[in-house]
Amino acid sequence: MIETKTEVEIKSLTRPAPPVLPVSVIIPARNEARNLPRCLESLASVGEIYLIDSQSSDATARIAESYGAKVVQFHYRGGWPKKRQWAMNTLPLTYDWILLLDADEVLTPELAAEIRSAIDSRGFDGYYIALEMYFLGRRLRHSGASFWKLSLFRKGLGRFECRLQDQTTAMADMEVHEHVIVKGRTRRLQHSLVHHNVESLDRYIQKHNEYSNWEARVWLDGTKNDDQVRPSLSGTQAERRRWLRRHFFGLPGSPVLFFLYKYFVRLGFLDGVPGLIYCVFQGVQFFHIKAKIYELRTLRKAA
């Protein structure tokens, strides 16, 4: 028997909606109109979405609201906390679990199902999620581009480490290489977030210029306390990366060595032209940091 259009419509209306993923998603943003639709479409089943905007001049806020996200404006005037920690401290989050996403990241159905199962477990308070990186339209399978982020954790048990109290608006208004510290047990999830950046290289360079301002000051004036990720060659990925940067950074020619490490040791050449560009930018970022450290030291001596 052939169903009529009305019968099909009735069935679609009575079909049960997918279960809500009971998490509060926090997305920091500034002029992310090109990235946001893909991100927000992937979050159709989550409980609530907060987009923390920094007075975007494009359609970022309007797009977020059209997808049902709650838009909150963040006015950064320096210091600590920065954008995501401020949101965790300030917003009336509904759910017991927080998921931190960037506007250029996508939650896959497989990861959403795994998160739903994971947060039902009482054995863990935080979960590391891998990032599947796409750059200039190509997935970077090498180049050392993949890494783990502690993106999912129980409300009240996770917070960002503070590596520098005296920060300025020239250092970006969101956390750069600070990591989330969770009081409790953590483990890794199997499925990944997809990082699919469609911004221009011009915007990429602008962002990383701010990041290098921050990193130069951290190297010179960064605070050290027990509530930070500790450098350790035998620790987590974040601890290993911090140990390697600390011991590698002071070597003569380290920006060139860093590029060679990314491009040859981590097989960046297998990622084609996007891999070459990515690895070069990583080395250039290293050079910018070292140059700004030199500039700061020179200015302080002159003063």
Residue-wise pLDDT for 93-110, tens only, equals 999 999 999 999 999 999
DSSP 57: S
What distance in Å separates the CA atoms of residue 53 and residue 142, rounded to the nearest whole number? Answer: 32
What distance in Å separates the CA atoms of residue 217 and residue 40, rounded to the nearest whole number? Answer: 34
Q: Are 105 and 83 in contact (CB under 8 A)?
A: no
Structure confidence by residue, pLDDT tens digits, 183-219: 999 999 999 999 987 778 998 999 999 999 999 999 9
Q: pLDDT-based confidence at 121, cuts 50/70/90? A: confident
pTM: 0.90
Average pLDDT over residues 258-285: 97
pLDDT above 80 (res 226): no
Cβ neighbours, 10 Å, residue 257: 14
Q: Which of 105, 130, 95, 100 is nearest to 41 (CA)?
A: 105
Ordered by start, the domain boundaries in the chain are 13-199, 214-302
Q: Are 296 and 220 in contact (CB under 8 A)?
A: yes
What does the block give as tokens for 180? Answer: 């989330």
Query: Residue 8's pLDDT is what?
Result: 46
Query: Residue 260's pLDDT is what?
Result: 97
With a pLDDT cut of 90, the percent of the chain lying above it is 79
Structure confidence by residue, pLDDT tens digits, 55-104: 999 999 999 999 999 999 999 999 999 999 999 999 999 999 999 999 99
Tell which CATH classification among 3.90.550.10, 3.40.50.620, 2.170.190.11, 3.40.50.150 matches the domain 13-199. 3.90.550.10
Greater confidence (33 vs 226) lies with 33
Q: pLDDT-based confidence at 129, cuts 50/70/90? A: very high
Query: Residue 247's pLDDT is what?
Result: 83
Q: Which of 10, 64, 14 is nearest to 41 (CA)?
A: 64
What distance in Å separates the CA atoms of residue 88 and residue 95, rounded to the nearest whole number? Answer: 12
Lowest mean pLDDT, pick from 16-25, 118-127, 293-302:
16-25
Query: Residue 245's pLDDT is what?
Result: 83
* Averaged pLDDT score across all residues of the chain: 91
Query: Residue 4's pLDDT is what?
Result: 53
Average pLDDT over residues 14-36: 85
Average pLDDT over residues 267-292: 96
